[in-house]
Amino acid sequence: MAKPRKRDLTEAERAREEDERRRRRARRAAIYNRARFRGLQVDPEINFYPEVAHREPGDTNVARGPFDLHPWVTFISAGLLIAFVGLTLVFSEHAEVVFEATLDGINDTFGWFYILSANIFVLAVAFFAFSRYGKIRIGGPNAKPEFSRPAWYAMLISAGMGIGLMFWSVAEPIFHLDAPAPMFGVEPGSAQAGSAALATTFYHWGLHPWSIYALVALALSFFAFNRGLPLTFRSVFYPLLGPRIYGGWGNAIDILTVLATVAGLATSLGLGVGQAAAGLNALFGWPQDTGFQVLLIAVITGVAVISVLAGLDGGVKRLSQLNIVLAGVFMVFLLAVGPAVFIFQAFVQSLGFYVSSLPQLAFWSEAFVDTDWQGGWTVFYWGWWISWSPFVGMFIARVSKGRTVREFVLGVVGFPSILSFFWMSVFGGTALNLQRSGVRDVSAAVSENVATALFDMLRAFPFTTVASVVAVLLIVSFFVTSSDSGSLVVDHLTSGGKIDSPVTQRAFWAVIEGALAAVLLIGGGLTALQTAAVATGLPFAVVLLVLTWSLRRAFHEELDLLEAHYDAQIFRSRHGALLDHLKREEGESTAPPADDSAWTEDAGTERAAGPADEDEEGAP
Task: Give dist(CA 531, CA 524) in Å, integer.
Answer: 10
Decide: residue 310, CB within 10 A, 0-12 exposed, 13-18 middle, 19+ buried.
Answer: middle
Same domain, yes or no, for 607 and 477? Answer: no
Task: Give dist(CA 317, CA 158) in Å, integer.
Answer: 10
pLDDT of 41: 52
| DSSP codes, 53-76 | TT--TTTT-EEETTEEE-HHHHHH
CA proximity to 381, closest of 157, 202, 170, 195: 202
Same domain, yes or no, for 253 and 343? Answer: yes
Contact in structure between 27 and 39 (CB atoms under 8 Å): no
Distance of CA 210 to the CA centre of its chain: 7
pLDDT of 234: 92
Point out the least confidently predicted range of 149-163, 168-182, 485-499, 504-518: 149-163
Contact in structure between 390 and 131 (CB atoms under 8 Å): no
Report the chain's C-alpha Rg in angstroms. 26
Question: Quick one: how many helices (H) and strands (E) in the chain?
Answer: 21, 2
- Indicate if the pLDDT at residue 332 is higher than 90: yes
CA proximity to 405, closest of 40, 46, 126: 126
- Asked whether residue 423 is assigned to any structural domain, the reply reads yes
CB neighbourhood size of 11 (10 A): 9
Q: What percentage of residues in the chain have a pLDDT greater than 70?
A: 80
Task: Give dist(CA 389, CA 271) in Å, integer.
Answer: 18
Hey, what long-range contacts does 289-294 have (CB within 8 A, 24 or more apart)?
290/521, 290/522, 290/525, 293/518, 293/521, 294/518, 294/521, 294/522
Same domain, yes or no, for 175 and 219? Answer: yes
Q: Which amino acid is at 187?
A: E
Contact in structure between 230 and 224 (CB atoms under 8 Å): yes
Same domain, yes or no, for 394 and 447? Answer: yes
- Asked whether residue 7 is assigned to any structural domain, the reply reads no
Helices 71-90 & 92-130 angle (0-180, nearest 10)? 140
Same domain, yes or no, for 286 and 412? Answer: yes
Same domain, yes or no, for 361 and 271? Answer: yes
Point out the least confidently predicted range of 142-146, 250-254, 290-294, 337-341: 142-146
Q: Which of 39-48, 77-86, 208-217, 312-321 has the highest mean pLDDT?
A: 208-217
CA proximity to 207, closest of 410, 1, 345, 367: 410
Task: Give dist(CA 421, CA 157) in Å, integer.
Answer: 13
Same domain, yes or no, for 535 and 591? Answer: no
Q: At residue 86, what are phi and psi to the nearest 5 degrees?
A: -65, -45
pLDDT of 619: 36
- Indicate if the pLDDT at residue 120 is higher than 70: yes
Task: Give dist(CA 292, CA 301) in Å, integer.
Answer: 14
CB neighbourhood size of 202 (10 A): 26
- Asked whether residue 3 is assigned to any structural domain, the reply reads no
Same domain, yes or no, for 438 and 476? Answer: yes
Q: What average pLDDT score do residues 539-549 get? A: 94
Point out the least confidently predicted range of 325-329, 375-379, 437-441, 574-578: 574-578
pLDDT of 614: 39
Task: Give dist(CA 260, CA 255) in Å, integer.
Answer: 9
Task: Give dist(CA 16, CA 14) in Å, integer.
Answer: 5
Same domain, yes or no, for 318 and 415? Answer: yes
pLDDT of 601: 37
Task: Give dist(CA 232, CA 222) in Å, integer.
Answer: 11
CB neighbourhood size of 337 (10 A): 15
Decide: residue 568, CB within 10 A, 0-12 exposed, 13-18 middle, 19+ buried.
Answer: middle
Same domain, yes or no, for 296 and 354? Answer: yes
- Asked whether residue 216 is assigned to any structural domain, the reply reads yes
Rounded to 5°, the CA angle 129-135-136 comes to 95
SS3 state at 467 = helix
Same domain, yes or no, for 420 and 284? Answer: yes
Which residues 6+ apart lie within 8 Å of 174 measured at CB?
Answer: 197, 428, 431, 432, 435, 442, 443, 446, 453
Task: Give dist(CA 36, CA 314) in Å, integer.
Answer: 9
Virtual CA dihedral for 249, 255, 256, 260, nearest 10 degrees?
160
Q: Which amino acid is at 486?
A: G
- Indicate if the pLDDT at residue 53 is higher than 60: yes
pTM assigned to the model: 0.81
If pLDDT is split at 50, 70 and 90, which confidence band does 268 have? confident
Which residues 6+ apart lie within 8 Å of 89 measured at CB?
Answer: 519, 522, 523
Decide: residue 615, CB within 10 A, 0-12 exposed, 13-18 middle, 19+ buried.
Answer: exposed
- Asked whether residue 22 is assigned to any structural domain, the reply reads no
Helices 318-337 & 464-494 angle (0-180, nearest 10)? 150
CB neighbourhood size of 585 (10 A): 11
Which residues 6+ apart lie within 8 Å of 20 measured at CB?
Answer: 616
- Find the CATH number of the domain harbouring 182: 1.20.1740
Strand partners, 428: none
18 versus 136: the higher-pLDDT residue is 136
- Asked whether residue 558 is assigned to any structural domain, the reply reads no
Decide: residue 501, CB within 10 A, 0-12 exposed, 13-18 middle, 19+ buried.
Answer: buried
- Asked whether residue 32 is assigned to any structural domain, the reply reads no
Task: Give dist(CA 553, CA 549) in Å, integer.
Answer: 6
Same domain, yes or no, for 334 and 261? Answer: yes
Rounded to 5°, the CA angle 66-69-74 comes to 120
Decide: residue 5, CB within 10 A, 0-12 exposed, 13-18 middle, 19+ buried.
Answer: exposed
Q: Which of 30-39, 88-97, 99-108, 419-428 has the highest mean pLDDT?
A: 419-428
Last residue of a domain, one of 523, 540, 557: 540
Contact in structure between 417 and 161 (CB atoms under 8 Å): no
Number of domains in the chain: 2
For residue 235, give its domain range. 50-540
DSSP letter, residue 133? G
Q: What average pLDDT score do residues 349-366 get? A: 93
- Indicate if the pLDDT at residue 172 is higher than 60: yes
554 versus 523: the higher-pLDDT residue is 554
Task: Give dist(CA 215, CA 412) in Å, integer.
Answer: 10
If pLDDT is split at 50, 70 and 90, which confidence band does 594 have? very low
- Indicate if the pLDDT at residue 58 is higher than 60: yes
- Of the chain, the end-to-end C-alpha distance in Å amounts to 49
- Asked whether residue 608 is assigned to any structural domain, the reply reads yes
241 versus 32: the higher-pLDDT residue is 241
CA proximity to 310, closest of 298, 297, 320: 320
Contact in structure between 152 and 145 (CB atoms under 8 Å): yes
Mean pLDDT, rounded, of the chain: 81
Q: What average pLDDT score do residues 325-340 get? A: 91
pLDDT of 43: 53
- Indicate if the pLDDT at residue 589 is higher than 60: no
